[in-house]
Structure 1
Amino acid sequence: MEDIFVVKRCNKIIIHGRRAGETGHPPPEAAVWYRINDTRTNGFIGDGYELEDDAKRVCRQLNARSQVTAREG
């Protein structure tokens, strides 16, 4: 059975602001975060995760629950 929930890597750009009177600020930095994608609806579950391992752990739990529900139904 194919997994319903998969981990998707997302790019994010962190922009550093500056206060009045400051002349310079650090440049934007590239980073990544991870979201759990529902392949049935193409929607996302939860708010996202900084660590891929955390997202994969939750994704495995969701897939395990959905397989048990499908077998019972």
Structure 2
Amino acid sequence: MEDIFVVKRCKKIIIHGRRAGEYDHLPPDAAVWYRIADTRTQGFIGDGYDSEEDAVRVCRQLNAQSQVTARQS
């Protein structure tokens, strides 16, 4: 059975603000974060993860739960 949930790598741009009266501010930082995508609906599950390992762990749990549910049906 094919996995329903997969981990997607997403780009994240961190914009640094500045206070009134400041003229210089830091440039935006490019980073990544990870989201769990549902292959059936193309939607995302949860808020996202900074660590790929955390996203993969949760994704495996979701896929294991969905396979048990499918077998019971």
Question: Aligned-residue CA RMSD in angstroms?
Answer: 0.4
Alignment pair present for 1:20 and 2:25: no
C-alpha distance in 2 between matches for 1:46 and 1:23: 37
C-alpha distance in 2 between matches for 1:39 and 1:62: 12
Q: Deviations over 1:33-64 (max 9, x none)?
A: 00000000000000000100000000000000
- What residue is the counterpart of 1:61 in the other structure? 61
Q: Number of paired residues?
A: 73
Structure 2 gap ranges (5+): none
> What's the TM-score, normalizing by structure 1?
0.98
- Structure 1: 4+ residue segments shifted above 4 A: none
- What residue is the counterpart of 1:47 in the other structure? 47
Structure 1 gap ranges (5+): none
C-alpha distance in 2 between matches for 1:12 and 1:50: 10
Query: What SS is found at the alignment partner of 1:2?
Result: coil
